[in-house]
Structure 1
Amino acid sequence: MASDASSALAERQKVQNFLSAAVSGNLDLFKKLAAGFDDGNDLAKSVAAVKDANKRGALHFAAREGNIDVCKYLVEELKLDINEKDEDGETPLLHAARLGHIATSKYLVECGANPAIASELGATALHHAAGIGNVELLEFLLSKGAQVDSQSDSGTPLIWAAGHGQEDAVKLLLAHHANPNSETDDDITPLLSAVAAGSLSCLDLLIQAGAKVNITAGGATPLHIAADIGSSEITNCLLAAGADPNATDEDGLKSIQVAAARGNRSVVEILFPVTSQIRNIPNWTIDGIINHLQSDTEKKLEGTVNPHSENGSSDTVKLEVTPEAKKKAAEAKARGGDAYNNKDYSTAIDAYTQAISFDPTDAVLLSNRSLCWMRIGQAEYALSDAKACRELKPEWSKACYREGAALRLLQRFEEAANSFYEGVTLDPENKALIDAFREAVDAGRKFHGTDKQK
C-alpha cells in the first residue's frame, strides 16, 4: 500500500515537473522530460495525455506564458491538436490572447488555431484582446475572420472593451462596425459598461456611434449609474446626449435621488435644474434633497436584516454604509469582475468578500459571489450567498435563479424547481428561469426514476 502511494506521488511529481517546464519555456529540459513519457509506441500521444486537474496540457501552459519555442515543438514536431479544449472549454489560443501574447497568438492562428472557438462562457480570443486593449491582436484576429459581435455570457468584445475603459479598442471595434447597442442576457450594453467603468472617452465614442442613452438594465439607466458613482463629467455627457433625468429605477427613484442618497453633491447640482420636482420631498432645494434622501436611507438601514448572523436568525442591526464605504465596495466589486472574466474565481471571491464587508446591503455582491462559488463547485457556499441575497432583495428574480442553481448542483431538484418557479412568478418573460425550472423538474424525475414508462 505504501509502495502504491509512493508510486502515485512520484507520477504526480513527474507530471508537475513536465508542465512546469512548459511554463518556464526551457525547451531542452522540456524535451528531456517529454522523453520520460515515451513508452516506445507514440511519444506525441503520450505527451498529449499529460494534463493537470483542469485538463490543461503542455500546449495550454506554453501558450499562456507566450513560450513560442515550446509551442512550435508541440505543434510542428509532435503534431498536437492545436484546438484542444481544457475543462473550461479554452484552447491554447484563448490562453495566449488573454495574456496579450501577440507573437504566440499569431503563430497559433497561422498554424490552424480557430479564433472563432469560444470557451464554455462564450468568450473568444477577440473578447480577451478587447478586454486588455491589445489593438494589434484585435486587428490581426479581425483580419482572420473573427466575428466582431460574437457573444459571451459577458457580452460582445465591444462590451468587454468599454467595461475596461479601453478607448483604442472601442475605437477599433466600432471602425469594424461593432454594434454599439448589443446586449447581454442581463440587458448590459457597451454604453452601460463604459459608464460603470467611469470611462468618459469610451462613452463619447459610443454616443457618436449611435449608442442609446435611455436604456434600462437591472432596473437602472446609465444616468442612475453615473449618479451612483458620482461622476459629474459622465452625468453631463449623458444629459447632453439626451438622457432622461426623470426616468425612474426599479425602486421608483430618479437619478437625482440616487446621487443624493450617495452624498454625490456635484451630481445633484447638475441634475437639479433639469429634474421635475418630487412631491414627497418637501424642501425642493439641493440641500433639502440631499438631507431628505440621506435621512430616508438611514431609516431603511436601521431595519436591515443581517444575513450572516451566527445563529442564522433574522437579527436586525443598524448598518451605516457611508459614501466612502460604498466607494470602496465598488472598487472591490470591479476587481472581482475582472478576476471573474479571467476565470480567477478564488481571487474574485476574495474581492467580492471585501466588497460585502464594506457594503453588506448590496444584494448584487452576494449574487456575484454565489456564482463564483458555483464555478469552483462549492455549492453549499453558493447556496448560502444566494439565500442571503434573497433576504436582502426578495423581489429580484436573479436571486431565485442563483438559489435554484446551487440547489440543482446539490441534487436537491425539487427545491431547485421551487426556487426557479418563484423566479418565474417574479419575471414571467425570463426564458432562462423558465428553462431552468423545466430542466430541474426533468432532472428530479430522472433522479428518482419517475420518468420511466409503466
Structure 2
Amino acid sequence: MASDASTALAVRQKVQLFLDAARTGNFDLFKKLATQLDEEGKGVAATVAAVKDANKRGALHFAAREGRTEVCKYLLEELNLGDVDVKDDDGETPLLHAARQGHIITAKYLIDRGANPAASSELGATSLHHAAGIGNIELLNFLISKGVDVDSQSDAGTPLIWAAGHGQQDAVKALLEHHANPNAETDDNITPLLSSVAAGSLPCLEILIQAGANANVSAGGVTPLHIAAENGSIEIINCLLKAGADPNASDEDGLKPVQVAAARGNRGAVEILFPLTSVQDLPDWSVDGIIKHMQSEASKLQEEADVPKKRDLHKAETIEVTLEAKKKSLEAKSRGEEAFKRKDYIMAVDAYTQAIDLDPNDATLLSNRSLCWIRLGQADQALADAKACRALRPDWPKACYREGAALRLLQKFEEAANAFYEGVQLDPENKELVNAFREAVEAGRKFHATEQQKS
C-alpha cells in the first residue's frame, strides 16, 4: 500500500512538473516529462492530450494562460492536438485563459488556429468580457472584428458592465463605439451605470450618461444615487443629479438617498441631498437631525437584518468574482493547505493556482503559493508571487517576509534585508522578521567577504 501511494505521489508530481514546464515554456523539460509519462506507449501527442490537473486543465490551457505562444504552436502544429477549444472544469478554453491575462499575440494565434472567439465559460463569460475587464483595447477590437457579440451576456452581465465595474473608461468608450447597449441588464438588474457607480468611477459614469444610460435604474430597490450616497461620492452624486437621478426614490427599506448617506455619516452627501428631498416624518428635519436619527437607527437595522445589505454592491461581487467562484476558491485553498501539511508542495502549488485563478485578489493565496515555491527551491517564482502579494497588501508584514525569503534564496542578501526591514517597520514586535533581517545582513556580509577572497 505504501509503495502504491509513493508511486501515485510520484506520478502527480511528474504531472505537475510537466504542466509547469508548459506554463514556463521549458521545452526540454516538457518533452522529457511527456516521454516519461507515456508509460503505456500511446505516443507523446496522445499522452500530452490526456494529462490534466485536478481542474481538467491541460498543457494548452497553461501555455495559453502564460502567453507561451511557442508552446501553443508546438502543441497544435507539431503534436497536432486536435481540440483547440478543449474546456476545463469551468468550461474555459485556452483562448479564455489567454484573454484573461491580456496575451493578445497568443489569443490571435489560437483564433488563427480555429479557436472560437465567442466561446464562453460555464458562467457565460467570453474573451471579450475579459478584454473589457482588464481594459485591453487592442484585444477588445480584435475580438469584435471576429464577430463576437458586443452585448454577449454572462452571469455578471455584458462586457460593458464588466468594463464599467472595473473602471476601464477606455474600454467603456470603445464598446459604446461598437454600439454596446448602455442600459443592458443582468438578471439582478445590474446595469453598466450601476456598476460604474459601485466601482466609484466618475469617468465611466460620465461616458455612460452621455451615451444615454438611465440614471434612475433600480436593482432590488437600490438606485445609483443610493449607492453613491452610501459611499459618500460627492462628484458622483452631483453627476447623477445633473443627469436626472431622483433624490426621492426609496429603496426596499423605504429609505431615500439622503437617509442612506446619513446612516453612513456622509455629511457632505447629506448636505447636497437634503434640500432636494421632500420632508420626511422625522423629529428634526435638518441635516444634523437626519444624521443623528439615522445613525441611532443604524444599529437596530443591522441587528434585524442578519444578511449583508442589498445596497452593498461591491465591485468584486457584481462584476467577476461570483459567490460560486469564491466557494470554489476556498475549496481549492483547503486542498492546498492539506497538500502543504503532507509536504506535497507540487500538489499544493496546483491547488493554490486554481484558487488564485478564481479569486486573484486574495493576497493570502499568493503568500501561500510563494512559500510552496520556496520549499521547492523555485526562488524566481516565489519572488514573483511575493511581489504580487505585496502589490495587493503593501502594509502586510507577512508579504514583506515572503519577498525577503525569496530574495535570500536568490542570494540577493541586501535586497532581502531591505524587504525584511520594511516588514519590521510595519510590525516592530515581529521577532521572526527581526531575526530574518539580522540573518540577511549577516549572510550578506559573509557572502561579500567570500567573494572578495575569491577575487
TM-score by shorter chain over 0.5: yes
TM-score normalised to structure 2 length = 0.68
User: How is 1:260-271 mapped onto 2 (pairs within 5 angstroms)?
Assistant: 260-271=262-273
SS at match of 1:340: coil
* Conserved? CA contact 2:156–2:319, under 8 Å: no
**Higher RCO structure, 1 or 2 (CA under 8 Å, sep 6+):** 2
SS at match of 2:188: coil
* Conserved? CA contact 1:98–1:342, under 8 Å: no
**Could you list the per-position Cα deviations for residues 54-113 of structure 1 after superposition, in whole angstroms to 9, with x for gaps in the alignment?**
100000011111111111100111122110000000000001111111111111111111
Q: Name which of 198, 201, 204 aligns with 1:199.
A: 201
Superposition CA RMSD, Å: 2.7
- How far apart, CA to CA, are the structure 2 residues paired with 1:341 and 1:299? 29
The Cα shift of 1:345 comes to 2.7
The Cα shift of 1:293 comes to 1.1
User: How is 1:182-261 mapped onto 2 (pairs within 5 angstroms)?
Assistant: 182-261=184-263
Instruction: Check 1:125–1:220 CA distance in 2 against 1; reply closer, same or farther (3 A cut).
Output: same
* Conserved? CA contact 1:336–1:349, under 8 Å: no
The Cα shift of 1:40 comes to 3.9
The Cα shift of 1:290 comes to 1.1
Greater mean alpha carbon deviation, residues 336-345 or residues 285-294: 336-345
Match of 2:352 in 1: none
The amino acid that maps onto 2:30 is: F
The amino acid that maps onto 2:18 is: F
SS at match of 2:162: helix
Instruction: Check 1:185–1:335 CA distance in 2 against 1; reply closer, same or farther (3 A cut).
Output: closer
The amino acid that maps onto 2:78 is: E
Match of 1:9 in 2: 9
- How far apart, CA to CA, are the structure 1 residues paired with 2:141 and 2:252? 40
- How far apart, CA to CA, are the structure 1 residues paired with 2:42 and 2:293? 79
* Conserved? CA contact 1:167–1:202, under 8 Å: yes
The amino acid that maps onto 1:9 is: L
The Cα shift of 1:348 comes to 6.8
Is it true that 1:149 corresponds to 2:151 in the alignment? yes
- How far apart, CA to CA, are the structure 2 residues paired with 1:349 and 1:9? 23
Match of 2:169 in 1: 167
* Conserved? CA contact 1:27–1:69, under 8 Å: no
Match of 1:25 in 2: 25
The Cα shift of 1:304 comes to 4.6
The Cα shift of 1:42 comes to 3.4
* Conserved? CA contact 2:183–2:191, under 8 Å: yes
Greater mean alpha carbon deviation, residues 175-184 or residues 98-107: 98-107
User: How is 1:22-101 mapped onto 2 (pairs within 5 angstroms)?
Assistant: 22-38=22-38, 39-80=40-81, 81-101=83-103
The amino acid that maps onto 2:74 is: Y
* Conserved? CA contact 1:339–1:347, under 8 Å: no
SS at match of 1:22: helix
The Cα shift of 1:347 comes to 9.5
Match of 1:134 in 2: 136
The Cα shift of 1:282 comes to 2.6
The Cα shift of 1:2 comes to 2.6
The Cα shift of 1:6 comes to 2.3
Q: Name which of 311, 314, 321 aligns with 1:340.
A: 321
The Cα shift of 1:14 comes to 1.7
Instruction: Check 1:253–1:336 CA distance in 2 against 1; reply closer, same or farther (3 A cut).
Output: closer
Match of 2:282 in 1: 281
Instruction: Check 1:119–1:37 CA distance in 2 against 1; reply closer, same or farther (3 A cut).
Output: same
* Conserved? CA contact 2:162–2:320, under 8 Å: no
SS at match of 2:144: helix
User: How is 1:111-126 mapped onto 2 (pairs within 5 angstroms)?
Assistant: 111-126=113-128
Greater mean alpha carbon deviation, residues 98-107 or residues 188-197: 98-107
**Could you list the per-position Cα deviations for residues 227-282 of structure 1 after superposition, in whole angstroms to 9, with x for gaps in the alignment?**
1111011110011011111110000111111111111111111111211111x213
* Conserved? CA contact 2:195–2:318, under 8 Å: no
SS at match of 1:89: coil
The runs of 5 or more residues in structure 2 that have no matched partner are 332-354, 360-455
Quick one: percent identity of the two aligned structures?
67
**Could you list the per-position Cα deviations for residues 189-242 of structure 1 after superposition, in whole angstroms to 9, with x for gaps in the alignment?**
000000000001000111111111111102211111111111011110011011
**Could you list the per-position Cα deviations for residues 136-183 of structure 1 after superposition, in whole angstroms to 9, with x for gaps in the alignment?**
110111111111000000000000000000000000000000000100
Instruction: Check 1:220–1:330 CA distance in 2 against 1; reply closer, same or farther (3 A cut).
Output: closer
- How far apart, CA to CA, are the structure 1 residues paired with 2:91 and 2:214? 34
Greater mean alpha carbon deviation, residues 83-92 or residues 338-347: 338-347
TM-score normalised to structure 1 length = 0.68
* Conserved? CA contact 2:262–2:295, under 8 Å: yes
Instruction: Check 1:88–1:184 CA distance in 2 against 1; reply closer, same or farther (3 A cut).
Output: same
- How far apart, CA to CA, are the structure 2 residues paired with 1:347 and 1:54? 11
- How far apart, CA to CA, are the structure 2 residues paired with 1:157 and 1:216? 20
The Cα shift of 1:342 comes to 11
